[in-house]
Amino acid sequence: MRSARSGRPDAPGPLSGTLLAGGRSRAILASALGSPAALAVVVETPGLSHFFGCTPLGPVARAIALSSEAAATPGSLFLPALVSRVRAWTSHEWTR
């Protein structure tokens, strides 16, 4: 996706959003699946999490993290366009 203002790529969203947006290369697939897996291993492994100063997640925290990702993934596809429209509308309203 490209920014309407600068023509440059938009700021990256969640990695799963990158997969939905069409990133099918091996590097994107590996980072989208490997990064969360590595993070889960570090956080959930008792000795490793203590070494990095993490606290393993309980079931409620894990549910919050997964539901946040589930909400952010589709949002990363349509929210940039919505934000651009709102900015254009509000800048037009202020110039009247």
Alpha-helix residue ranges (DSSP H) falling in 1-96: 15-20, 26-44, 46-52, 59-94
Q: Higher-confidence residue: 2 or 69?
A: 69
- Per domain, the residue ranges of the chain are 15-94
* Coil, helix or strand at residue 40: helix
Tell me, yes or no, if the pTM score tops 0.75: no
Other Cβ atoms within 10 Å of 15 Cβ, number? 20
User: Which of 2, 19, 28, 4 is CA-nearest to residue 73?
Assistant: 19
Rounded average pLDDT over 43-58: 90
pLDDT of residue 6: 40
Structure token pair of residue 28? 């994107």
